[in-house]
Amino acid sequence: MVGTTLIELRERVESLASDGGTYFLVCARTGERPIPTTGLRFEGRATARSAVRAAEQYRTSLRRYDEQLPYRDLVVCQDADTGTSAAAGGEARDAGEDRWSLSEPVLRGTATADDRQRLTEFCHEVAAVVFETLSETGYDAVETAVMDAYFELAESVEDTDELCLCLLESVAAELDARLSPAEQAAVLSDAASRLDSRTTARGPRIDAAFAHLRAAGVVESVSRSPWSVDLRQGTRSVVVRLHEYALSPQDGRLPTLPLVVELYRGGWDWSPASVEVTDSDDEDWRVRLVLAREPDPGDLARAPIRPAGA
* pLDDT at residue 284, as a whole number: 92
Whether omega before 36 lies within 30 degrees of 0, making that bond cis, reads: yes
* pLDDT at residue 224, as a whole number: 95
Tens of pLDDT along the chain (310 residues) come to 555 567 778 888 889 999 889 999 988 877 878 878 888 999 999 899 999 988 888 888 777 666 667 778 888 999 876 544 444 433 333 333 333 222 222 233 332 346 777 888 888 889 888 988 998 899 989 988 887 877 777 677 777 677 788 889 999 999 999 999 999 999 999 999 988 765 444 446 889 999 999 999 999 999 999 999 999 999 999 999 999 999 999 999 999 999 999 999 977 889 999 999 998 877 799 999 999 999 999 999 999 999 886 6
Rounded Cα distance between 44 and 66, Å, is: 33
| pTM strictly above 0.75 | no
Rounded Cα distance between 184 and 88, Å, is: 39
Of 81, 77, 79, the C-alpha closest to 51 is 77
Q: What is the DSSP letter of 96?
A: T
Residues 76-119: tens digit of each pLDDT: 999 876 544 444 433 333 333 333 222 222 233 332 346 777 88
Rounded Cα distance between 104 and 49, Å, is: 21
Q: Which residues contact 202 (CB under 8 A, 6 or more apart)?
A: none
* pLDDT at residue 66, as a whole number: 61
